[in-house]
């Protein structure tokens, strides 16, 4: 990265960390806002004139930087995950050309510039916090003759007893994550990037997700998922000293404990899991039973041992009859960093809802996306514990799984993955 | 409706009409906004603190009124359409009880009050312009012994040569339309209403849609669809004198030309069509060819005969070689009210994207929802003409179709459909 590129990157990084940090640190101010805020919002409060382009539309996320966008960027209202496989005959050269095209288009769309051949779907909309993030799956390296550059961190994830994975919706040579606060902007990016893959890579799977719209709640980052539970409270926070080393591959030179190749400097590893939720079963449970499964109050996300959302759960606390307040198999206990040797990952999921299954149950749940410098020290140990004894596992099904190496962000003039493909 | 109920209804009606009217009358101020607005939006503009609950979240739409919500309400970013069939053994009494439950819940959710048994998904979010709209299909009347109340307007739609309708995703006894500017609020309503149907009605089909997020563009109401075209420019405008009689069944007493039964006072008829777009075929066309198919410029929606989006297309105008500037089969000519004997409907569609089909094409297009006082004077004559000679028909497939009688809005203490079910 040249000196010239530092400024926008630093600006963006400060902004993103500041936003994420402030959000993650919110102390439940939003609790009870539904009643209060809504009581004041009468019909007359609605806009009477054409809505102006607000920060929802005008916000743009920088494409260039040490890290790719879409990792510490606040999660957007609309998300698309896509995996591609290189077509027969396409190798390193064709993949490099594709990543060059994709990077150029991602940069233009994220800046709110209309690329020449786009669909017109996002005309007259702002960039709406669009991010596009690119990653490489394990199979990419053999297909492009780059096996010597394959990171150890891309070792296949172990089998978990609760897995029921569909192969056709798992893995893939290339991964694209799209997020935007406007659905048409996100769809436009999806269409344009898929079109550009024509002749080089074929769509393997694609999943659509959503989260809260900015401004719909005063609780900005700790999202609720489709079981109605606050999700992400104990995410590593950018304000924590060890955040960079837990989430990102070190920026320059080999560091102790990191085996990642040089081209992964500033990169991260993304674990993607499609986790269907058995919502009919869940909703039959009483709120008290649901809270026992999670170990947190539904209303405000506070641990059952008291306090507010950000209070540390007291895993030792017992009731008067001697039983633990937070059950042995409560989700919050099984996932607690202190019971996982400090394993940590940055979860940045979307919810999904693809209608209803043949059995009448909703085809809905979580598009789990977790970021870490090393899946063996992030997702894997946590999931091993969950697999053995998480009360929540009775209400979820892991249906698809993938692991991708997401290289660092490009400098100006660079394309994503250039340091790998031109190594 | 009691005198007591007029005030909130009037407030809401003024607001909605004002908003819709202002939007429909916008003269393309947004054109070029992408460049201008975005150039001013730097990274520093992004929020640095927890996002406050904005009008996106706090806006609530009144449940009570002459008309149901979700017809003239500005279309929301997230939409769900659901049809239900009464289960065997459920008749008028059970249907009335269901509509009573549904109405009570819709009122609570739209007001931002948490019903006792909801899922928790929308906890700490504002109502986010949630609307829930209920309708009755033709089959509802025979199943509830109410055939004498069946409106003539619910006569089955004629077959169109371009139709390829899937029966399982068409029609239905009961229809629910949900819209909200937050995806979790919308999904929560869907879950809660479906749960309440248990034992009385079974889900027949369900479709998910989306439109622009408020604030993503300064063009608030004339949406773009997934072929990138401005869609809805010539919608009837609430400011027009004949708007009420075109869209709504007259409010009291039989009026000339209306055969609707008394219980439909203030109601409207909704034509619902799932229209898949052949986006790969469309995107292969040059912009000039696309504009010829539509008869409008892609950039700003102005007719090819000049002016801005709101300029009337000059259907007589010819080029120097004598050919019409707007082609004989251009979509804008075939749908022009002046070539349809004044037939008019209020189109309020969502876009949809359900991933990709087995043939690799996107399963995406338009959840077309059109409102009118009489489908025989709205949708049917327009669709007949489109069916015969619309250049756009080569790029779309009508895959599902339904027609519903949507009764007027409830007075306070009333439930939707009470005037039918207790007639």
Q: Which pLDDT tens digit goes with each residue over B82-107?
A: 999 999 999 999 999 999 999 999 99
Q: Which residues of A touch B231 (CB under 8 A)?
A: none
**What is the SS3 assignment for B181?**
coil
Q: Do A183 and B111 touch (CB under 8 A)?
A: no
Residue A202 has which token pair? 């074929």
Nearest CB partner across the interface for B181, out of A29, A213, A356 = A213
Q: Do A125 and B185 touch (CB under 8 A)?
A: no
pLDDT of residue A221: 58
CB B102 within 8 A of CB B238: no
Q: Do A41 and B126 touch (CB under 8 A)?
A: yes
pLDDT of residue B133: 98
With CA atoms as reference, report the closest residue to A1 among A423, A417, A413: A413
Instruction: Say how many Å lie between the first and final Cα of chain A, rounded.
Output: 15
Q: Report chain B's mean pLDDT, rounded to a whole number.
A: 86
Q: Do A112 and B41 touch (CB under 8 A)?
A: yes
Best A216, A282, A364 residue to mutate vs chain B (most B CBs within 10 Å): A216
pLDDT of residue A15: 34
Domain presence at residue B263: yes
Domain presence at residue B392: yes
Q: Which residues contact B98 (CB under 8 A, 6 or more apart)?
A: B174, B196, B197, B200, B201
Cβ of residue B34 closer than 8 Å to a chain A Cβ: yes
Domain presence at residue A311: yes
Q: Do A55 and B48 touch (CB under 8 A)?
A: no
Q: Which pLDDT tens digit goes with each residue over A45-95?
A: 333 344 577 889 999 999 999 999 999 999 999 999 999 999 999 999 999
Q: How far apart are CA B392 and CA A309, in angstroms?
A: 53
Q: Which residues of A touch B77 (CB under 8 A)?
A: 77, 182-183, 213
Length of chain A: 423
With cut-offs at 50, 70 and 90, classify the pLDDT of residue B352: very high
Higher-pLDDT residue of A37 and A355 is A355
A210-214 average pLDDT score: 94
pLDDT of residue B117: 63
pLDDT of residue A396: 96
How many CB pairs below 8 A link A and B?
Answer: 330
Instruction: Say how many Å lie between the first and final Cα of chain B, rounded.
Output: 15
Cβ of residue B283 closer than 8 Å to a chain A Cβ: yes
* The model scores a pTM over 0.90: no
Q: Do B191 and A279 touch (CB under 8 A)?
A: yes
A95-113 average pLDDT score: 96
Chain B: give the shortest CA distance to residue A150, in Å.
Answer: 30
pLDDT of residue A4: 34
Q: Do B124 and A218 touch (CB under 8 A)?
A: yes
With CA atoms as reference, report the closest residue to A407 among A249, A276, A254, A277: A249
Whether residue B298 is predicted with pLDDT greater than 80 in this model: the reply is: yes
Domain presence at residue A112: yes
Report the half-sphere exposure of A60 (CA within 13 A, side-chain side). 24
Whether residue A43 is predicted with pLDDT greater than 50 in this model: the reply is: no
Q: Which of A249-258, A274-283, B123-132, B243-252 is least confident?
A: A249-258
Domain presence at residue B78: yes
Chain B: give the shortest CA distance to residue A53, in Å.
Answer: 5
**What is the SS3 assignment for B82?**
strand
pLDDT of residue A62: 97
Cβ of residue A203 closer than 8 Å to a chain B Cβ: yes
Chain B: give the shortest CA distance to residue A207, in Å.
Answer: 7
Q: Which pLDDT tens digit goes with each residue over B40-64?
A: 222 323 333 445 778 899 999 999 9
Best B120, B239, B281 residue to mutate vs chain A (most A CBs within 10 Å): B120
CB A64 within 8 A of CB A7: no
Cβ of residue A364 closer than 8 Å to a chain B Cβ: yes
B113-128 average pLDDT score: 81
Q: Which pLDDT tens digit goes with each residue over A225-264?
A: 999 998 888 899 989 999 999 999 997 655 555 578 999 9
CB B409 within 8 A of CB B131: no
Q: Do A124 and B213 touch (CB under 8 A)?
A: no
E-state strands within B200-328: 201-210, 223-224, 230-231, 268-277
Q: Which pLDDT tens digit goes with each residue over B247-274?
A: 999 976 555 555 789 999 999 999 999 9
Q: How far apart are CA B302 and CA B291, in angstroms?
A: 10
Q: Which residues constitute the domain of residue A308?
A: 11-17+57-218+232-252+267-421
Nearest CB partner across the interface for B38, out of A127, A216, A362 = A127
B231: annotated active-site residue: yes
A138 — phi, psi (to 5°)? -55, -40
CB B200 within 8 A of CB B90: yes
With CA atoms as reference, report the closest residue to A67 among A275, A348, A273: A348
Whether residue B176 is predicted with pLDDT greater than 90 in this model: the reply is: yes
* Residue B234 vs residues A86, B26, B69, B398: alpha-carbon distances, Å: 45, 12, 22, 22
A315-320 average pLDDT score: 95
Q: Which of A366-380, B176-190, B203-217, B330-344 is least confident?
A: B330-344
Please give the tally of structural domains in chain B: 1
Q: Which residues of A touch B18 (CB under 8 A)?
A: 48
Cβ of residue A308 closer than 8 Å to a chain B Cβ: no
Cβ of residue A123 closer than 8 Å to a chain B Cβ: yes
Q: Which pLDDT tens digit goes with each residue over B192-239?
A: 999 999 999 999 999 999 999 999 987 655 789 999 998 888 899 989
Query: CA quadruple A109, A113, A114, A120: dihedral positive or negative?
Result: positive
Q: Which pLDDT tens digit goes with each residue over B20-45?
A: 222 222 222 222 223 333 322 223 23
Residue B260 has which token pair? 């609707």
Domain presence at residue B33: no
Whether residue A16 is predicted with pLDDT greater than 50 in this model: the reply is: no
Point out the catalytic residue in the list A5, A173, A231, A329: A231
Whether residue A24 is predicted with pLDDT greater than 50 in this model: the reply is: no
Q: How far apart are CA A78 and CA A76, in angstroms?
A: 6
Q: Do A362 and B19 touch (CB under 8 A)?
A: no
pLDDT of residue A48: 34
| % of chain B at pLDDT higher than 90 | 73
Q: Which pLDDT tens digit goes with each residue over A158-182?
A: 999 989 999 999 999 999 999 999 9
pLDDT of residue B339: 79
Give the DSSP letter string of B105-160. HHHHHHTT---TT--STTTTB--TT-EEEEEE-HHHHHHTT-GGG--GGGSPPPP-
Q: Would you state the torsion angle of the CA atoms of residues B71, B75, B78, B79, taken in this order, to the nearest 10 degrees?
A: 30
Higher-pLDDT residue of A209 and B48 is A209
Whether residue A408 is predicted with pLDDT greater than 90 in this model: the reply is: yes
Q: Which of A86-90, A356-360, B355-359 holds the top average pLDDT?
A: A86-90
pLDDT of residue A220: 58
Residue B14 has which token pair? 């003024």
Q: Which residues of A touch B58 (CB under 8 A)?
A: 37-38, 40-41, 45
Q: What is the biggest distance separating any 2 CA atoms in chain A, rounded to whole angstroms?
A: 70
Alpha helix positions (H), B138-247: 138-143, 183-197, 243-247
pLDDT of residue B186: 97
Cβ of residue A27 closer than 8 Å to a chain B Cβ: no
Q: How far apart are CA B146 and CA B142, in angstroms?
A: 6
Residue B162 has which token pair? 């371009």
Q: How far apart are CA B119 and CA B28, in angstroms?
A: 42
Q: Which residues of B touch A26 (CB under 8 A)?
A: 50
């Amino acid at each position: 990265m040249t000196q010239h590129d530092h400024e926008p990157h630093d600006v963006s990084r400060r902004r993103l960390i500041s936003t994420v940090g402030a959000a993650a640190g919110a102390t439940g101010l939003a609790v009870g806002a539904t009643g209060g805020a809504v009581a004041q919002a009468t019909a007359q409060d609605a806009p009477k004139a054409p809505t102006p382009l607000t920060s929802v539309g005008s916000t743009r996320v920088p494409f260039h930087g040490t890290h790719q966008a879409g990792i510490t960027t606040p999660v957007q209202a609309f998300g698309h995950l896509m995996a591609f496989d290189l077509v027969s005959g396409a190798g390193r050269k064709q993949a490099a050309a594709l990543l060059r095209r994709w990077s150029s288009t991602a940069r233009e769309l994220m800046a709110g510039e209309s690329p020449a051949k786009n669909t017109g779907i996002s005309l007259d909309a702002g960039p709406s916090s669009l991010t596009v993030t690119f990653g490489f799956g394990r199979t990419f390296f053999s297909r492009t003759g780059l096996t010597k550059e394959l990171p150890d961190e891309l070792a296949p994830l172990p089998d978990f007893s609760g897995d029921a994975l569909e192969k056709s919706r798992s893995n893939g040579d290339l991964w694209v994550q799209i997020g935007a606060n406007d659905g048409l902007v996100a769809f436009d990016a999806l269409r344009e990037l898929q079109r550009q893959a024509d002749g080089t890579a074929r769509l393997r799977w694609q999943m659509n997700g959503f989260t809260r719209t900015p401004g719909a709640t005063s609780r900005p980052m700790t999202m609720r998922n489709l079981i109605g539970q606050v999700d992400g409270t104990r995410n590593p926070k950018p304000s924590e000293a060890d955040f960079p080393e837990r989430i990102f591959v070190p920026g320059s030179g080999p560091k102790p404990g990191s085996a990642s190749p040089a081209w992964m400097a500033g990169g991260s590893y993304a674990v993607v899991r499609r986790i269907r939720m058995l919502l009919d079963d869940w909703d039959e449970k009483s709120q008290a039973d649901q809270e026992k499964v999670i170990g947190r109050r539904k209303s405000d996300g506070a641990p059952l041992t008291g306090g507010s959302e950000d209070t540390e759960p007291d895993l030792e606390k017992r009731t008067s009859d001697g039983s633990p307040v937070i059950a042995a198999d409560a989700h919050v206990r099984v996932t607690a960093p202190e019971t996982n040797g400090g394993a940590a990952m940055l979860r940045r999921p979307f919810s999904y809802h693809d209608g209803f299954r043949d059995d009448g149950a909703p085809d809905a749940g979580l598009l789990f996306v977790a970021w870490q410098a090393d899946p063996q020290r992030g997702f894997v140990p946590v999931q091993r514990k969950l697999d053995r004894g998480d009360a929540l596992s009775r209400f979820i099904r892991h249906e698809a799984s993938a692991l991708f190496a997401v290289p660092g962000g490009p400098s100006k003039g660079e394309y994503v993955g250039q340091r790998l493909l031109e190594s």
